[in-house]
Amino acid sequence: MSTDHADTRLGHEDDGGRLFWVCAVVGLGVIGFGLAGLLNARLIGSIASWATYLVGGLLVHDAVLAPIVVAISVVLIYLVPSRIRPAVQGTLVVAGSVALVAIPVVGGWGRKPDNPTLLPRDYGLGLAIAIAIILAAGAIAAARAARRPPPRRPPERPRGW
């Protein structure tokens, strides 16, 4: 459709084509349906608590988690040789995903004294085993990358996050 092969930039959304406005009207209607349903639900409990978690989750990602990832990226650029950096980055992505998903089970805040079938395992140990396996896989990948011949062409583009 386009001869625009070079443009891989982000952010080239449609600015107001017919498809966009059809989707916008339908989508905003569905959003409104959800919001109205929530505000009218008798059993919702605290709307303020819902709003706090909704906005809180967004802020924790955009203002805490993402900047932390940027900071880690910067540290990696200075500390890790470029040849093994992909292996280190990959290890951190996988281990980080696993650690995040493990937070509620390792924390175990949902445990109930009358129900030992809920959260029956030693999740700290489970997480340690999982992370150890991921680190081992990452170490193997890094060792293999270090033995590969260096790239012929030095990277042109600025390094970074």
Q: Is 104 in the site for other proteins (CB under 8 A)?
A: yes
Which lies closer to other proteins via its Cβ, residue 30 or residue 71?
Answer: 30
Q: Letter for the amino acid at 116?
A: P
Judged by CB under 8 A, the chain residues 77 through 96 that form the site for other proteins are 77, 82, 85-86, 89-90, 93-94, 96
Window 14-53: contact mask with other proteins (x via CB under 8 A): xxxx-xxxxxx-xxxxxxxxxx-xx--x-xxxxxxxx-xx
d(Cα 66, Cα 76) in Å, to the nearest integer? 15
Distance separating alpha carbons of residues 108 and 98, to the nearest angstrom: 16
According to the binding rule CB under 8 A, does residue 65 interact with other proteins? yes
Contact 79, 71 (CB under 8 A): no
What one-letter code names the amino acid at 22?
Answer: V
Minimum distance, C-beta of residue 111 to other proteins, in the bound complex (Å): 7
Does 152 help bind other proteins (rule: CB under 8 A)? no
The DSSP symbol for 47 reads H
Residue 75 interacts with other proteins (CB under 8 A): yes or no: no
